[in-house]
């Protein structure tokens, strides 16, 4: 895990600036977010939409991510809450037995 934490690409300045604006202005909680030099509206998303949340995520807490599916314009928006943390959603046995099958099942039905 320590190797993974230290072995990353530095966060580019432009992305950091956009993320800071997204967080400081409430971004997605208002239903719109900056994307480059324009603003995008979540209500404009009309395709099937899946929001995956990890119940023990310390990087993106459930309270910070919950409700995103309610902000999109899709008539088919799903919020999938799964046990585990940020990394375990996609890595390890829990991912193989719980997370990935649930996500693949949603995709297969859409």
DSSP 29: G
Mean pLDDT of 21-39: 75
Q: What is the pLDDT of residues 31-55, one digit of tens each?
A: 887 777 888 889 999 999 999 999 9
What are the beta bridge partners of residue 37? Answer: none
**Number of domains the chain contains:** 2
Residue 33 and residue 51 share a domain: no
Structural contact between residues 100 and 77, judged by C-beta atoms closer than 8 angstroms = no
Both structure tokens of 78: 């799903």
Mean of the per-residue pLDDT values of the chain: 86
Q: What is the pLDDT of residues 70-87, one digit of tens each?
A: 999 999 999 999 999 999
Structural contact between residues 48 and 110, judged by C-beta atoms closer than 8 angstroms = yes
Residue 55 and residue 33 share a domain: no
Q: Which range marks the domain in which residue 13 is found?
A: 1-42
Judged against a pLDDT cut of 70, whether residue 1 lies above it is answered with no
Residue 60 and residue 20 share a domain: no
């Amino acid at each position: 895990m320590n190797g993974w934490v230290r072995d990353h690409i530095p966060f580019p300045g432009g992305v950091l600036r956009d993320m800071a604006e997204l967080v400081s202005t409430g971004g997605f909680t208002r239903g719109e977010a900056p994307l480059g030099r324009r603003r995008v509206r979540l209500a404009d998303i009309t395709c099937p939409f899946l929001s995956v949340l990890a119940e023990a995520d310390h990087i993106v807490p459930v309270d910070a991510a919950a409700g995103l599916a309610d902000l999109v314009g899709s008539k088919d928006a799903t919020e999938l809450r799964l046990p585990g943390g940020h990394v375990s959603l996609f890595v390890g046995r829990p991912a193989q037995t719980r997370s990935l099958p649930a996500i693949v099942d949603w995709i297969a039905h859409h």
